């Protein structure tokens, strides 16, 4: 993630060090003539979407420079129009939510952010602000590279490492102590006679480029998924629930500052002294650090590190300047989300000129249609690039990219290259505009682009080869057809070997064909066939959900099944009829109509019926007359005869809703034996409590 979201700071006694990010650029800056309020709302939503992909999913979708541009644009809008600043704006929040898989740790000293500088003029302005704020003629700065890794904090008690955590959202992180213990260059016991009783060190976990290349080579040899870049490899390795896996990964740690210390004697007066002290205690610190005087010294350091950047053993995307004198840091203080005494000076994304030889489209696993520019080969960012993403049709139009154009290709780190801009003066008369195809290049199904969405999609979800694996996995999932044993690796083999083309083919499988697959013994094959056979008898709601209709989730599938009673009535419904269903609006209704308008999808449905997939059908349920329509139930404890799933289905069949927790909005709590805190909460709030017999009486028609 760019430093605008990753740099750490804290109260007066926090000493900053290099941080980094490798997030990537944003997909679209939107239309230049949008009203300011709409533009700000768009930017907030877009930045938060990329924050989630980067911090929670460890799957960055765009390169750094464009993300930084979006963030700066939002900052500028809010600075010019303070009334547009909202409490949930990304400019008011640092980072993303921690993963739930680890115990959460509250940071005693928040891990906040640094502002960015992108030009020499901005660095000069930063130096002037520091001098003016301190009332001095010149200022010395501690300078360090800005790492591209994952921020962590390490706690030591009496010189012994006791706990480590990730940055998380800046205020709460993930407890990854066991994994950090496996990182070879993190000292488990500090050395030296001046070790403080309590110490919290901030730093970065990263993976050297050479080790990253070797790791990916091993991944390829084992036929396993390769990592996108060193930053993601480091983040994914540190977030393993099994620390034995982390121990096998070549992670390294670099310290960049102290968040908290008790009885550090003698007390350092300079950040550069602090870094020396950390090195003396056994912490690895940046060998390239230096002290520079004024803006001239800062810019000289920036140029020197930029020249050496390719030769460094790890990825960086800039440098960090911090006022060296700690007392001056305290005097300058902080703004809302960043210190006044430090700034990150970022290098420009690596760019090159080339020509667009063709624009084609790729079909993703979910049917997303992505335009891709086929380029004359060009060396940029350390590799030869021949393809670059254009993201979506709107982006192609906004940038006006045409076949034959000379374009600027940008590649930041190891993320997917993109066409940053067109060079208009080099456009030939023969340049050809891009036209989104009407039919999927893989399966021939219609391509649809809803008016309120940026992404066009193939409508052949059940039979399109590009979506085949995803469709099968969804079809077999527990909440859909519940085919136990049909997982990712088996689906890969079935599809790659052309054994399965549509979900209907599952019901034609034989034990010999399955048993011949890799890691599939005869017993496993028999178990899978038994699960497939069991799935032939299902419910209409499960079947609708299993079809994978866009925007139709499990709850909507149940509403559709109750409303129509049978599949044929659903398939024949138009948009107006569909919108009579509870919680079905125009977007969902249009998705359903598009799905069943595709002949190939209907053909697969009929094949499934012919294969013996069946369910009970009946007359449409008139939920408006149900006494519990729209009422919220909470289930707790063990009921005498009903499982929770059976009770849920009975309630939902009559138009009720089942929630997981008790609140003032709950209408009923159904309690069995060993009911716990939910029952206590219901009594406290005065919610009506039912036993099983009372529930059944309420559900009677």
Angle at 507 between CA 502 and CA 509, to 5 degrees: 95
Task: Give the rounded percent of residues in the chain with a pLDDT score beyond 70.
Answer: 88
Higher pLDDT, 462 or 440: 440
What are phi and psi for residue 651, nearest 5 degrees? Answer: -65, -45
pLDDT at site 59? 63
Report the alpha-carbon distance of residue 156 to residue 160 in Å, rounded.
5
**Mean pLDDT confidence for 449-456:** 80
Residue 242 CB: number of other CB atoms within 10 A? 9
In 3D space, the residue among 332, 343, 354, 344 whose CA is nearest the CA of residue 135 turns out to be: 332
Query: Lowest mean pLDDT: which of 298-302, 428-432, 492-496?
Result: 492-496
Lowest mean pLDDT among 180-194, 236-250, 412-426: 412-426
Residue 389: closest CA among 420, 343, 355? 420
Neighbours of 175 (CB within 10 A): 16
Residue 699 or 472, more confident: 472
Please determine whether the domains at 350-433 and 444-621 fall in the same fold group of CATH: no
Euclidean distance between CA atoms 257 and 55, whole angstroms: 22
* Over residues 128-143, mean pLDDT: 96
- What is residue 371's predicted lDDT score, i.e. its pLDDT? 94
User: What confidence tens digit (pLDDT) does each residue in 266-320 have?
Assistant: 788 999 999 999 988 989 999 999 999 999 999 999 999 998 988 898 888 899 9
DSSP label at residue 52: I
Architecture of the 444-621 domain:
Orthogonal Bundle (1.10)
Whether 322 sits among the annotated catalytic residues: the reply is no
What confidence score (pLDDT) does residue 96 get?
A: 43
pLDDT of 7 > 50? The answer is no
Region of poorest pLDDT, from 75-89, 157-171, 388-402: 75-89
Question: pLDDT class for 382, splitting at 50, 70, 90?
Answer: low
Strand runs (DSSP E) across 549-655, as ranges?
632-636
* Residue-level pLDDT at 132: 95
Please tell me the predicted confidence (pLDDT) of residue 463.
Answer: 82
Using the predicted structure, report yes or no on whether residue 325 has a pLDDT greater than 60: yes
pLDDT surpasses 90 at 200: yes
Q: Return the closest-CA partner of residue 601 out of 658, 548, 656.
A: 548
Which strand ranges, in their side-by-side order, compose the sheet holding 632-636? 657-659, 632-636, 668-671, 688-690
Please name which of 145, 455, 71, 472 lies closest in space to residue 311, comparing C-alpha atoms. Answer: 145
Q: What's the whole-number mean pLDDT along residues 537-563?
A: 91
User: What is the predicted pLDDT for the residue at 665?
Assistant: 87
User: 218: exposed, middle or buried (C-beta count within 10 Å: 0-12, 13-18, 19+)?
Assistant: exposed
CATH 3.40.50.300 matches 623-699: no
pLDDT in tens, 612-630: 999 988 766 555 567 787 7
Model confidence over 9-66: pLDDT tens digits? 333 333 333 333 333 333 333 334 457 888 888 888 888 677 656 543 446 667 667 7
Tens-place pLDDT, residues 626-647: 778 778 899 999 999 988 888 8
When pLDDT is averaged across residues 327-347 and rounded to a whole number, the result is: 88
SS (H, E, C) 515-560: HCCCCCCHHHHHHHHHHHHHHCECCHHHHHHHCCCCCCCHHHHHHH
d(CA 190, CA 185): 12
pLDDT for the residue 61: 66
CATH of 350-433, one of 3.30.1600.10, 3.40.50.720, 2.60.40.1180, 2.40.50.140: 2.40.50.140
Average pLDDT, the chain: 84
Residue 577 exposed, middle or buried by CB count within 10 Å (0-12, 13-18, 19+) = middle
Q: pLDDT at residue 3 above 50?
A: no
The 10s digit of each residue's pLDDT in 458-468 is 988 888 888 88
Q: How far is CA 615 from CA 193, 572, 609, in A?
A: 75, 18, 10
Q: Would you state the pLDDT for residue 222?
A: 81
Rounded Cα–Cα distance for residues 128 and 152 (Å): 32
Cα separation, 574 vs 590, whole angstroms: 9
Helix, strand, coil % in the chain, rounded to nearest 5: 40, 20, 40
Catalytic annotation, pick one of 146, 558, 657, 678:
146
| Six-digit token string for 547 | 């079809």
Long-range contacts of 70-78 (CB under 8 A, 24+ apart): 70/26, 70/29, 70/43, 70/46, 71/2, 71/4, 71/5, 71/47, 72/4, 72/116, 72/118, 73/29, 73/39, 73/43, 74/40, 74/43, 74/44, 74/47, 77/36, 77/39, 77/40, 77/43, 78/40
For the stretch 143-169, pLDDT in tens is 999 988 899 999 999 888 999 999 887
Region 191-220: what's the mean pLDDT?
Answer: 88
Per-residue confidence (pLDDT) for residue 364, from 0 to 100 = 85
Cα 95 to Cα 88, 174, 208, 500: the distances in Å are 12, 13, 24, 42
pLDDT of residue 602: 93
**Greater pLDDT, 71 or 226:** 71
Average pLDDT (496-521) is: 86
Integer angstrom CA distances of residue 107 from 21, 92, 110, 468, 658: 20, 18, 6, 45, 36
Q: Parse the chain into domains and list their residue ranges.
A: 350-433, 444-621, 623-699
């Amino acid at each position: 993630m760019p430093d605008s979201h990753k740099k750490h700071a804290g109260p007066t006694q926090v000493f900053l060090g290099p941080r980094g990010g490798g997030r990537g650029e944003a997909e679209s800056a939107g239309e230049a003539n949008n009203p300011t309020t709409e533009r700000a709302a768009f930017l907030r939503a877009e930045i938060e979407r990329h924050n989630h992909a980067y911090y929670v999913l460890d799957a960055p979708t765009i390169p750094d420079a464009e993300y930084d541009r979006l963030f700066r644009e939002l900052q500028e809008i809010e600075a010019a129009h303070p009334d547009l600043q909202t409490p949930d704006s990304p400019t008011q929040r640092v980072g993303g939510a921690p993963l739930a898989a680890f115990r959460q740790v509250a940071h005693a000293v928040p891990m906040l952010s640094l502002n960015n500088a992108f030009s020499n003029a901005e660095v000069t302005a930063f130096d002037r602000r520091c001098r003016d704020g301190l009332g001095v003629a010149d200022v010395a700065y501690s300078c360090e590279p800005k790492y591209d890794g994952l921020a962590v904090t390490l706690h030591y008690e009496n010189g012994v490492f006791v706990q480590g955590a990730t940055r998380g959202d800046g205020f709460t992180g993930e407890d990854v102590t066991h994994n950090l213990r496996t990182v070879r260059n993190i000292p488990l016991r500090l050395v030296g006679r001046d070790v403080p009783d309590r110490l919290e060190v901030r730093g970065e976990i990263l993976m050297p480029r050479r080790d990253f290349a070797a790791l990916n080579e091993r991944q390829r040899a084992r036929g396993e998924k390769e990592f996108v870049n060193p930053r993601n490899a480091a983040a994914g390795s540190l977030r393993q629930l099994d620390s034995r896996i982390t121990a096998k990964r070549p992670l390294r740690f670099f310290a960049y500052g102290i968040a908290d210390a008790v009885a550090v004697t003698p007390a350092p007066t300079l950040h550069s002294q602090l870094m020396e002290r950390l090195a003396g205690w056994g912490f690895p610190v940046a060998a390239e650090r230096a002290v520079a005087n004024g803006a001239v010294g800062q810019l000289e350091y920036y140029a020197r590190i930029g020249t050496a950047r390719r030769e460094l053993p790890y990825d960086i995307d800039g440098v960090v300047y911090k006022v060296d004198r700690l007392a001056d840091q305290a005097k300058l203080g902080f703004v809302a989300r960043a210190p006044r005494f430090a700034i990150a000076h970022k290098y420009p994304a690596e760019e090159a000129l080339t020509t667009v030889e063709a624009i084609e489209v790729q079909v993703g696993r979910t049917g997303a249609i992505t335009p891709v520019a086929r380029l004359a080969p060009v060396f940029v960012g350390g590799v030869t690039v021949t393809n670059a993403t254009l993201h979506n049709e709107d982006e192609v139009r906004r940038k006006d990219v045409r076949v034959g154009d000379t374009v600027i290709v940008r590649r930041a780190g190891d993320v997917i290259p993109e066409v940053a801009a067109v060079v208009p003066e080099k456009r030939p008369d023969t340049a050809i505009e891009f036209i989104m195809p009407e039919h999927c290049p893989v399966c021939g199904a219609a391509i649809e682009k809803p008016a309120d969405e940026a992404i066009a999609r193939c409508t052949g979800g059940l039979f399109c080869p590009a979506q085949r694996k995803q469709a099968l996995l969804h079809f077999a999932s527990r909440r859909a057809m519940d085919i136990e044993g049909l997982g990712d690796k088996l689906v890969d083999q079935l599809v790659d070997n052309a054994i399965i083309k549509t979900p209907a083919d599952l019901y034609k499988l034989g034990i010999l064909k399955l048993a011949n697959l890799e890691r599939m013994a005869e017993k496993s094959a028999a178990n899978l066939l038994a699960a497939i056979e069991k799935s032939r008898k299902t419910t209409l709601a499960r079947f609708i959900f299993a079809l994978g209709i866009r925007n139709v989730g499990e709850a909507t599938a149940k509403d559709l099944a109750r409303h129509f009673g049978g599949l044929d009535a659903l398939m024949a419904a138009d948009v107006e009829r569909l919108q009579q269903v509870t919680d079905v609006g125009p977007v969902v209704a249009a998705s359903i109509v598009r799905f069943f308008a595709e002949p190939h999808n209907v053909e697969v449905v009929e094949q499934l019926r012919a294969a013996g997939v069946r369910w009970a059908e009946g007359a449409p349920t008139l939920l408006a007359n149900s006494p519990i329509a729209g009422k919220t139930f909470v289930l707790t404890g063990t009921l005498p005869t009903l499982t929770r799933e059976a009770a849920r289905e009975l309630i939902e069949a009559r138009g009720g809703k089942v929630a997981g927790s008790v609140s003032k909005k709950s209408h009923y709590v159904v309690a069995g034996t060993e009911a716990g805190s939910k029952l206590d909460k219901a009594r406290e709030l005065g919610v009506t409590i039912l036993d099983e017999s009372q529930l059944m009486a309420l559900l009677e028609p």
